Amino acid sequence: MYEQVSHSLLNDILIGLDPKVDCDDLKHFYIRLGANFYAIHSLFHQLYGDRRDFRLQMHKLVDVMARQYTNRPTELRQRDLAREKDHDWFLSQKLAGYTLYCQEYADSINGMHSKLDYLQELGINLVHVMPLLDGPKGRNDGGYAVRDFRKIDSKYGTLQDLDRLSADMRSRDMLLILDVVVNHTSDEHEWARKARKGNKKYQDYYYTYSDRKIPDLFEQTMPEVFPETAPGNFTWNEEMGKWVMTVFNDFQWDLNYKNPAVFIEMIDIILFWANHGADVIRLDAVAFLWKKVGSTCQNEREAHLILQLMKDCCQVTAPGALFIAEAIVAPVEIIKYFGEDAVNAKECEIAYNATFMALLWEAVATKKATLLEKGVRSLPTKLDRATWLNYIRCHDDIGLGFDDNDIREAGYDPQAHRRFLVDYYTGQYPASTATGVAFGRNEKTGDARISGSLASLAGLEAALLNQDETAIDISIKTIILLHSMIASFGGIPLLYYGDSIGTLNDNTYLTDENKHHDSRWVHRPRLNWENAEKRHIEGTVEHRIFHPIKKILAIRKQIPAFADLNNREMLTIGNPHLFAFLRFTSSGIHSRVLVVANFDTAPQTLDLKELEAVNVFGHSQVRELYSDKVLSTRHGQLVIPPLGFYWLQL
Ligand code: GLC
């Protein structure tokens, strides 16, 4: 949009642009800056307009965007242009993601090259390499306490190694996701060190207070993220003689986005990693970006303004790079991180579907899809040009963030049901075979979350221990069923390393003084490559899990109706064990696919009369796409095997 005030400012800025900012072709930069500048100016003004140095800060911001544009490798600039044309590329059913720790998966960044083959064999083409940046040696929250945002930790390799990896991945048509921890730094970061030494400029990068007056006000309404290990939201720093806000661990200092210098530093860092080949940038803990006394300091309106501003700036310099919102918050809040627009994502194009993940685990425990169906129906419709990361496990705990009303409507008491789920997955519930570990028990509120590997939570660990073939079979079926769900629901399936070979809990963290207090380490093991090799041996657990998952991903890629185009219709089924939805597309041979999943350990019957309204079955038989078999529907019924799923082509 053309608007006089912002454009006359833009003219002034462009005249005074750093003479070092020079490159052959600034045409695309100028066009995009012109297109986005009104929005950038207005967002920056909403956040920082009351500052006397507003124009100067605005100038600095444009300088950063221009400088990073000139740094952007030609190959990536061309990719930007290609993605502009094919703007829905990330909604494709052809994407399949995988999260891994580079050290646990491949020893180092250089070790990754030879291990990409394994991922390609599985069908993966989008890889989230967990934080690689320089951090303190001891406690560093699994890399989420960053000491230097531009330096790769030497234990993983160097920046050149990463450049080589991203080039190798590009040549294999694989995409790279990297983290930028936008909410906080390690207390060993240079900014924190300077702040500790009394440097006022850097103390303003954080929330620092000489007495408890304001911290106490904050504490009245701020929940605790790690109540067991890091209670409270402030830490006293003796050297600085001040309290500093530390929402996560006491060594993670929250950045103060009320200071425009922080925003400008961070956009510079985001663009730096986009220029080093990150196709997608995972923005960590975005719900926490803005703190306000009297609020929970989560999901504040300004946090959304910051993300919009980050997106607008990134679109000027590196428009091909997408953002993932890591916002593990209530269902109605998660969806807002796409940005509130009619079609396009205005904040992050991709968000973790934490709601679906938790609902899937609920369905496994209850063997029923009642809450799953309600929860999915309650999710507001997402924007057209935005998508979910659908996952079963990740490096974090499972939070039971369902909507209380949905729980009640499903016939449970919210508190009792959450307690049941924690008991179930930590093996306290008599009929459960899960061997998870509680995480973040909060004695004050009674809340708890769950840690554990997919296989252990699905009962495989106990089943193997007891050499119980039936139980082994049930747990393997559960693992496969869950993967079929994330592959068909709509969005990008994101697998967690080790899950496709049934990796169990790893208790070695208990003997590590930097880890034993944090049960999330139970599901962050070294990948056992000897076990992975067993995927080639028929009859092994690894083979029985790996091949069905590989097949699920391969078949997903051939079903255009599985692309994420807001093309899902939930179906109500009388049988509470079954979960059913329709996926559709306007063209192609697989124009409508009915997905049915049975969460029970007994076969369950689908009464086809219930689906008459959606005119599902015109014929006496139907093709099931996963098994490529034809099933008879003549008797008006379909029987779904125990923990089975059907992808029925209509
Ligand atoms: C995110 C990460 C989590 C980390 C937290 C603080 O939620 O996924 O692992 O502990 O941010 O950085």
Residue 227 lies inside a defined structural domain of this protein? yes
Angle (CA) 534-539-541 rounded to 5° is 60
Which candidate in 80, 153, 250, 326 is catalytic? Answer: 326
Residue 591 has pLDDT above 90, yes or no: no
pLDDT at res. 28: 92
Hey, how many other C-beta atoms are within 10 angstroms of the C-beta on 431?
Answer: 6
Cβ neighbors of 419 (< 8 A, separation 6 or more) are: 446
pLDDT at res. 604: 98
Residue 345 has pLDDT above 90, yes or no: no
Give distance in angstroms: CA of 262 to centre of ligand 1: 20
Catalytic site residue 326? Answer: yes
> Two tokens at 86?
């094919």
Nearest CA to ligand 1 atom 9: 396
Contacts 24+ apart (CB under 8 A), 564-567: 564/91, 564/93, 564/387, 564/388, 564/490, 564/491, 564/492, 565/88, 565/91, 565/384, 566/381, 566/382, 566/384, 566/490, 567/490
Taking the C-alpha atoms of residue 180 and residue 366, their distance in angstroms, rounded to an integer, is 37
Q: Are residues 402 and 457 in the same domain?
A: yes
Q: Are residues 435 and 512 in the same domain?
A: yes
Hey, how many other C-beta atoms are within 10 angstroms of the C-beta on 543?
Answer: 16
Once rounded to an integer, what is the mean pLDDT over residues 498-514? 97
Q: What are the two backbone dihedrals, phi and then psi, of residue 428, each rounded to the nearest 5 degrees?
A: -85, -20
Q: Are residues 506 and 575 in the same domain?
A: no
Residue 391 lies inside a defined structural domain of this protein? yes
DSSP symbol at 459: T
Give distance in angstroms: CA of 396 to centre of ligand 1: 7
Domain closes at, from 254, 288, 314:
254
Nearest CA to ligand 1 atom 4: 144
Q: Are residues 390 and 530 in the same domain?
A: yes
Helix/strand/coil (H, E, C) string of 318-366?
CCCCEEEECCCCCHHHHHHHHCCCCCECCCCCEEECHHHHHHHHHHHHH
- CATH no. for residue 402? 3.20.20.80
Residue 154 lies inside a defined structural domain of this protein? no
Residue 588 has pLDDT above 80, yes or no: no
Q: Are residues 619 and 491 in the same domain?
A: no
How many domains, in total, are found in the chain? 3
Q: Are residues 454 and 578 in the same domain?
A: no
pLDDT tens-digit map of 250-298 = 999 999 999 999 999 999 999 999 999 999 999 999 999 999 999 999 9
Residue 504 lies inside a defined structural domain of this protein? yes
Alpha carbon 482 to its chain's center? 17
Residue 589 has pLDDT above 70, yes or no: no
Rg of the chain's alpha carbons, rounded to an integer? 25
Residue 267 lies inside a defined structural domain of this protein? no
b/e code 359-376 from CB counts within 10 Å (16+ = b):
bbbbbbbbbbbbbbbbbb
Nearest CA to ligand 1 atom 3: 396
Minimum-distance ligand 1 atom for the alpha carbon of 141: 10
Q: Are residues 624 and 644 in the same domain?
A: yes
DSSP symbol at 497: T
Which protein residues touch ligand 1 with a CB less than 6 Å away? Answer: 141-142, 144, 181, 248, 284-285, 326, 395-396
pLDDT at res. 387: 97
Residue 337 lies inside a defined structural domain of this protein? no
Q: Are residues 457 and 592 in the same domain?
A: no
How would residue 618 be classed by pLDDT, with cut points 50, 70 and 90? low
DSSP symbol at 525: P
Domain closes at, from 501, 529, 557:
557
Q: Are residues 385 and 515 in the same domain?
A: yes
pLDDT at res. 611: 86
Which of 248, 397, 522 to mutate to test ligand 1, by most ligand atoms within 8 A of the CB atom?
Answer: 248
Residue 42 lies inside a defined structural domain of this protein? no
Which of 101, 139, 141 to mutate to test ligand 1, by most ligand atoms within 8 A of the CB atom?
Answer: 141
Which range has the worst mean pLDDT, 159-163, 172-176, 279-283, 565-569? 565-569
Minimum-distance ligand 1 atom for the alpha carbon of 183: 12
Minimum-distance ligand 1 atom for the alpha carbon of 226: 10
Give distance in angstroms: CA of 590 to centre of ligand 1: 39
Range of the domain at 517: 363-557
Q: With contact defined as beta carbons under 8 Å apart, do 310 and 268 qualify?
A: no
Once rounded to an integer, what is the mean pLDDT over residues 332-359? 93
Nearest CA to ligand 1 atom 8: 396
% of the chain surpassing 90 pLDDT: 89
Once rounded to an integer, what is the mean pLDDT over residues 563-579? 95
- CATH no. for residue 230? 3.90.400.10
Q: Are residues 544 and 585 in the same domain?
A: no
Taking the C-alpha atoms of residue 18 and residue 20, their distance in angstroms, rounded to an integer, is 5
Residue 447 lies inside a defined structural domain of this protein? yes
Three-state DSSP class for residue 269: helix
pLDDT at res. 19: 58
pLDDT at res. 20: 60
> Two tokens at 307?
């993300």
pLDDT at res. 629: 97
pLDDT tens-digit map of 121-132 = 999 999 999 999
Domain closes at, from 254, 269, 284:
254
Taking the C-alpha atoms of residue 451 and residue 291, their distance in angstroms, rounded to an integer, is 28
Evaluated on CA atoms 487, 492, 498, 503, the torsion sign reads negative
Q: Are residues 492 and 531 in the same domain?
A: yes
**Can you list the alpha helix ranges (DSSP code H) found in 16-147?**
27-48, 54-71, 74-85, 102-106, 109-122
Give distance in angstroms: CA of 14 to centre of ligand 1: 39
Q: What are the two backbone dihedrals, phi and then psi, of residue 148, each rounded to the nearest 5 degrees?
A: -145, 115
pLDDT at res. 639: 96
pLDDT tens-digit map of 527-545 = 999 999 999 999 999 999 9
pLDDT averaged over every residue in the chain: 95
What is the pTM (predicted TM-score) of this model?
0.96
> Two tokens at 646?
């059907």
Q: With contact defined as beta carbons under 8 Å apart, do 226 and 233 qualify?
A: no
pLDDT tens-digit map of 79-102 = 999 999 999 999 999 999 999 999
Contacts 24+ apart (CB under 8 A), 286-289: 286/182, 286/183, 286/325, 286/326, 286/327, 286/337, 286/348, 287/327, 287/328, 287/329, 287/333, 287/337, 288/183, 288/247, 288/254, 289/182, 289/183, 289/257
Once rounded to an integer, what is the mean pLDDT over residues 235-240? 98
Q: Are residues 552 and 626 in the same domain?
A: no
> Any idea which residue has 């496969």 for tokens?
480
Taking the C-alpha atoms of residue 1 and residue 24, their distance in angstroms, rounded to an integer, is 27
